[in-house]
Structure 1
Amino acid sequence: MSLRARIVTLGLRLFTKPRLAKMTDPADLRDVMERFTRIALRPAPGSVAMPLDLAGRAALSIRAGVPRDGAAVVHFHGGVFIAGSPQTHLPMLSRLAKLARVTVIAPSYRLAPEHPFPAALRDAEAVWEALIAQGYRPENLVLSGDSAGAALAFALLSKLCAEGTPPAGAFAFSPWFDLTGASPSVRANAAADPMLAGHRLPEAAQFYLQGHPADDPEASPIFAPFPGCPPVLLQTAETEILSDDALRMEEKLRHAGAEVLLQLWPGVPHAWQMMDGLIPEAREALRDAARFVTRVLTAPPQRSDGS
């Protein structure tokens, strides 16, 4: 763990975690994420973000250099389903676009509590359908998300696998796959997690679910089937409360015959990939993700059913 990561993690533990543990208004989290991006993070040099309209949802098409033709990463931002936007994730995604030499498409989706489940997932599905209608082929797309955005990405992945039209691959950063809070790490890592408060997780989920069963596979893809799943990369921090969500998904997908690469990073905070430019571990993780994207976009289609 780098010295810079140790300093950032200490700051999160002393100042950010206590504040997040007391937040009750979604507007406060939205403000925190927007200000953090504006003050602390910068897009990758030479990157360009162009606005898009996809199925009535605002999105960004992010490029750096000359990307490969007809291919893209479709990334759904995190923020507990109540905060975040393509703009808050632009610094991270512009770096990914530069490293992988690929266009990254970052859609917005309706946020809770104003728009509860399944509004965000329906938006994600509509965005995917809009891209296919524009001429993108599933085998030239990679699906991804961080934190709550990973739940959207993998709920969509399950649907696409069931329909026989999966993407070339999928990856997740610090995924929140189980909104029931049943992962043992929610309690086991409650003290070790430098940023997230485990006891607030059920309340956070209810902003989105508003009484809907948390074990619905469309809300918690840990309960979803993944027939014919393409290669998957999962990155999570060893000490975050959501670490077991990634471990359980790895086991589930391997049991189904999928190719899965799980990376456990020591000491770093939740969704540390967003901290590109602040801690070296963020750039290292994004390089690994870029290598994964390059590999699945250039390799022949490979599915867990052996076809």
Structure 2
Amino acid sequence: MSIDQVIEQVQAVYGSWGRETTVAQMRADWDRLFGETVSPDSSQPVDADGVCAAWIDAPEIDRDRVLLYFHGGGFQVGSVRSHFDLMHRLSAAARCRVLAVDYRLAPEHIFPAALDDALSAYAWLLEQGVPATNIALAGDSAGGGLALSLLLQLREAGMALPASAAVMSAWTDMTASGESYQTRADSDPIHQRRMVLAMAGNYLGQQDASDPRVSPLFAELQGLPPLLLQVGDRETVLDDSRMFAHKAQAAGVAVQLQVYDAMIHVFQQFPQHLTQAQEAIAAVGQHLEAHWPPHSNPYNS
């Protein structure tokens, strides 16, 4: 399947939505688009101090290492089911457990619900005896922005930071100020600035869109752990990653930016069709492996 066929598959879902489409229907459609092959027994639900989550383990992993993952979906759709395949592949690529966080969604739960859930899940991992050096954060789109916002919250709270973070097509700027919203408007098949701002409004409530807790691009970024940012060159949110990476590097953060030619928003969700998605997932695994301590007990799955 080519990238154009992938786009057609995604547009078939988005194009079926109208003003009368309920959020519940959008969530169900999203889960079917990305999670139709997931077995009900493929993950292990867990209560992470009141936060719904699930353990996802590939074979031959080091269970002492944990990737805390936040799914995308504009803070309104997305779930463990929709992102299971991606998270399972990341578990294999990084040889770690994945704790998938089903944070509360808007419009039922506006800011700061998602960030509160992220912080609670991280604190729960620490309470379970997992050292921060054995934890990494990851996420895509809204979940990528949430992972970065969590890093900032942990730093401000004086809590131990994870070993690293990797984000895909991260939404770092809810004001949508990047030039790519114009320069990539014709090449991005889905995410136009008007749509992005509408999603932001549903999540923000009365919160200022430039608050660093919702738009980590506007935060002071010094003191963060090593970061990997991946993004497609066709995305309107391209500058959300480029500007964040530039600002983080200027603040002394070890950051790597990978821009994939001709790729769309969170193309990593199509590894069965796109070799670029397979390469990107492998690169995330390499990044995480490089910043964790050596395996204490390899393949203790």
- Tell me the TM-score normalised to structure 2 length: 0.90
Match of 1:179 in 2: 174
- Residue 294 (str. 1) matches residue 292 (str. 2): no
Q: 1:27 aligns with which of 17, 24, 28?
A: 24
Q: Aligned ranges for residues 145-164 of structure 1 at < 5 Å? A: 145-162=139-156, 163=158
Paired letter, 1:63: D
* Shift, 1:174, TM fit: 0.5
Question: What are the Cα deviations for residues 241-293 of structure 1, in whole angstroms up to 9, with x where unaligned?
Answer: 10000001101110111111100011122111111212222111100101111
Q: Which residue of 1 aligns with 2:52?
A: 58
- AA partner of residue 30 (structure 1): R
* 2:77 equivalent in structure 1: 83
Note the alpha carbon deviations across 1:137-158, whole angstroms, 9 max, x for none.
1111101110001111111111
Aligned equivalent of 1:280, options 275, 278, 289 = 275
Counterpart in 1 of 2:297?
A: none
* 1:96 partner SS: helix
Is it true that 1:218 corresponds to 2:238 in the alignment?
no
How many residue pairs match? The answer is: 292
Residue 173 of structure 1: CA displacement?
0.5
Residue aligned with 2:68, SS:
strand
Contact 2:221–2:251 (Cα < 8 Å) also in 1? yes
Aligned to 1:6: 4
Listed as ranges, the matches of 1:1-307 within 5 Å are: 4-12=2-10, 15-16=12-13, 18-19=15-16, 25-39=22-36, 48-162=42-156, 163=158, 165-298=160-293
* Matched-pair identity in %: 33
Q: Tell me, what secondary structure is at the counterpart of 1:176?
A: coil
Secondary structure in 2 aligned to 1:70?
Answer: strand
Q: What is the SS of the residue equivalent to 2:67? A: strand
Deviation at 1:26, TM superposition (A): 2.5
Structure 2 letter corresponding to 1:165 = A
- Spell out, residue by residue over 1:143-178, the C-alpha distance to the aligned partner (whole angstroms, 9 max, x if none): 111000111111111122332521100010110000
Instruction: Give the superposition deviation at 1:102.
Output: 0.6
User: Relative to 1, partners in 2 of residues 1:270 and 1:20: Cα closer, same or farther, differing over 3 Å?
Assistant: farther
- CA deviation map 1:201-250 (0-9, x unaligned): 11111110123110111111111223321110000011111000000110
Q: Once the 2 structures are TM-superposed, how far is the Cα of residue 126 of structure 1 from its aligned partner?
A: 0.7
The two structures, once aligned, show a CA RMSD in angstroms of 2.0
Normalising by structure 1, what TM-score? 0.89
Q: Which runs of 5+ in 2 are unaligned?
A: 295-301
Asked whether the equivalents of residues 155 and 224 of structure 1 are also in contact (C-alpha less than 8 Å), the reply is no
